[in-house]
Amino acid sequence: MLRIAALILFCSAGSAVAETTWDVLQRFGYVGVWSVDCTHPPTRTSFFSILSKDPTGLVRRDVDRGEKLPLALSVIESAQLISPLTLKFRIRNTDPNWEKLDNLTYDIVVIKEVDPLTMEILPPPGCRVRSERR
């Protein structure tokens, strides 16, 4: 009887709901509109990454490369928190506007820093242009 109870407990422990890619990005604080330089409009070298979830649950990354270039769409296929300070995610370019880089898949690792004076965890690198897509 004790073995059956232990088996039931063991099986039920593995039935936790897995986090979605969007959930992982949100928990890390990496959603909304991001750029390396928020003081200037987007350009080909200092673009805006617009991270959003579409109605089907797919995580989109629209890249605004400036007014003379069309938006280029990517999808974030997976995301994993390696540690509370480290996020790894896989992007796939899914738009002909990427030209030669269309269908390219690559992994990105984002590492948060800790302020040595306050020991406060700083937000992801870069700057948040705005928190929600317009």
pLDDT digits (tens, 9 = 90+) for 35-88: 888 888 898 888 999 999 999 999 999 999 998 899 999 999 999 999 988 999
CA 29 to chain centre: 9
Per-residue model confidence (pLDDT) at position 118: 83
Per-residue model confidence (pLDDT) at position 37: 82
User: Is the separation of the CB atoms in 114 and 85 below 8 Å?
Assistant: yes
How far apart (Å, rounded) are the C-alpha atoms in residues 5 and 110? Answer: 43
Q: How far is CA 32 from CA 28, 53, 98, 119, in A?
A: 12, 10, 21, 25
How far apart (Å, rounded) are the C-alpha atoms in residues 50 and 124? Answer: 15
Q: Write the Ramachandran bin of 15: left for phi over 0, alpha for psi from -120 to 50, otherwise beta.
A: alpha
Per-residue model confidence (pLDDT) at position 86: 92
* Residue 107 amino acid letter: D
Q: In this prediction, what percent of the chain has a pLDDT beyond 90?
A: 48
How far apart (Å, rounded) are the C-alpha atoms in residues 40 and 60? Answer: 23
Helix (H, G, I), strand (E, B) or coil at 130: strand
Helices (H), the chain: 2-13, 21-28
Per-residue model confidence (pLDDT) at position 108: 92
